[in-house]
């Protein structure tokens, strides 16, 4: 993936230097396991961790910010690529694309969806239409989940932008409204469908960004590896040694890879309606 020296998005807000409260997350090992299940790509962190802010945190070390500068630039370039692709696709639908902002934070952050810690992983908040990411997540993605590479990192951002697309199209709000009326099992099924559609939209973005970012087969393998590593079944096996399919909220490794690849091969928004298919 070619990204050095390319246009960066102006929609980046850096909150890494702002002092903010340390977060105290209640609960024992059960909470930790649940946090692992939602920590990656699109979950609502406050729903599990329920953090409470205190006032004794210090600003982020300036050396760390300098060390993260290449990652910050990478994120800004990737976000710019998503803007270019989705502006074009929305224009083809006769609509105007509204760009999300991407908030860089370290340790903890407050969004319109509540407080979240770095443990929550990257997430999209539909209430303020912002994407949030602690750049240290990429080290975890590489070291803990065995998914290195530039395009694995780009996939993370593209997935969160996929949730923004769902917000703009009305899907996100409809699903959230429906979940409040369903059983936990039925709600989890809707959540899986929402996440797999975001994976599909990430694939659609990759399809249209392949020339500008000079994507090749290795890049797609990196995205597949990342999608596979963060399937519910893979995360549950790593966290507790067994799987509980009824508790899946993001989809299995196989499902996540399949829907990303469907978007990559199709490039058409209308081919990703995960809510109309029986078999995911």
Q: What is the pLDDT of residues 109-122, one digit of tens each?
A: 999 999 988 887 89
The model's pTM is 0.84
Radius of gyration of the chain (CA): 18
pLDDT value for 26: 32
**Is residue 4 in a domain?**
no
Q: How confident is the model at residue 176 (pLDDT cuts 50, 70, 90)?
A: very high
Phi and psi, residue 13, nearest 5° = -120, 120
**Is residue 276 in a domain?**
no
Average pLDDT, the chain: 85
Rounded Cα distance between 267 and 253, Å, is 21
* Average confidence (pLDDT) over 76-102: 97
Does residue 100 have a pLDDT over 90? yes
Q: What is the pLDDT of residues 45-55, one digit of tens each?
A: 444 444 444 43
Does residue 23 have a pLDDT over 60? no
**∠ CA 210-213-215, rounded to 5°:** 50
Joined tokens for residue 3 = 């990204």
**Is residue 278 in a domain?**
no
Rounded Cα distance between 38 and 87, Å, is 29
Whole domain around residue 39: which residue ranges? 12-271
**Is residue 1 in a domain?**
no
Q: What is the dihedral of CA 190, 153, 150, 77, to 10 degrees?
A: 100
Does residue 248 have a pLDDT over 80? yes
Q: How confident is the model at residue 29 (pLDDT cuts 50, 70, 90)?
A: very low
**Is residue 7 in a domain?**
no
**∠ CA 234-237-239, rounded to 5°:** 105
End-to-end CA distance of the chain: 30
Phi and psi, residue 226, nearest 5° = -65, -45
* Average confidence (pLDDT) over 195-207: 97
**Is residue 145 in a domain?**
yes
Does residue 25 have a pLDDT over 60? no
Residue 7: name the closest of 209, 163, 206 by CA. Answer: 209
pLDDT value for 24: 29
**Is residue 279 in a domain?**
no
For residues 36 and 10, the model is more confident at 10
Residue with tokens 């780009």: 154
Residue 3: name the closest of 160, 177, 186, 149 by CA. Answer: 149
For residues 236 and 26, the model is more confident at 236
With beta carbons less than 8 A apart as the criterion, state whether 135 and 72 touch.
Answer: yes
Q: How confident is the model at residue 60 (pLDDT cuts 50, 70, 90)?
A: low
Which parts of the chain fold into alpha helices (H)? 29-38, 45-49, 62-67, 69-92, 137-143, 150-169, 171-179, 184-209, 217-229, 232-240, 253-266
Total number of domains in the chain: 1
For residues 63 and 105, the model is more confident at 105
pLDDT value for 18: 53
Does residue 36 have a pLDDT over 90? no
pLDDT value for 212: 82
Phi and psi, residue 26, nearest 5° = -80, 165
**Is residue 127 in a domain?**
yes
pLDDT value for 50: 45
Residue with tokens 């230097």: 17
Lowest mean per-residue pLDDT among 188-192, 213-217, 222-226: 213-217
With beta carbons less than 8 A apart as the criterion, state whether 132 and 116 touch.
Answer: yes
């Amino acid at each position: 993936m070619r990204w050095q020296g390319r246009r960066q998005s102006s929609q980046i807000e850096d909150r890494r230097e702002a002092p903010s409260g340390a977060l105290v997350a209640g609960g024992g090992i059960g909470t930790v396991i649940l946090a692992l299940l939602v920590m990656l790509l699109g979950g609502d962190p406050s729903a599990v961790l329920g953090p409470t802010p205190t006032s004794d945190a210090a600003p982020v070390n300036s050396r760390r910010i300098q060390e993260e500068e290449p990652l910050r630039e990478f994120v800004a370039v990737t976000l710019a690529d998503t803007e270019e692709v989705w502006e074009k696709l929305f224009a083809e639908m006769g609509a105007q694309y509204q760009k999300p902002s991407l908030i860089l934070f370290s340790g903890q952050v407050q969004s319109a969806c509540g407080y979240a810690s770095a443990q929550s992983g990257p997430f999209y908040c539909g209430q303020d239409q912002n994407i949030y990411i602690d750049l240290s997540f990429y080290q975890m993605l590489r070291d803990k989940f065995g998914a290195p590479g530039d395009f694995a990192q780009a996939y993370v951002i593209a997935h969160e932008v996929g949730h923004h697309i769902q917000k703009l199209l009305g899907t996100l709000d409809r699903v959230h409204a429906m979940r409040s009326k369903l059983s936990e099992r039925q709600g989890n099924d809707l959540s899986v469908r929402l996440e797999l559609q975001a994976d599909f939209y990430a694939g659609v973005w990759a399809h249209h960004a392949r020339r500008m970012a000079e994507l090749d087969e290795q890049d797609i393998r990196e995205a597949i590896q990342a999608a596979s590593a963060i399937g519910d079944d893979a995360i549950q096996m790593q966290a507790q040694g067994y799987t509980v399919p009824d508790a899946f909220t993001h989809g299995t490794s196989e499902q996540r890879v399949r829907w990303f690849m469907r978007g990559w091969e199709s490039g058409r928004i209308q081919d990703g309606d995960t809510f109309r298919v029986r078999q995911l």
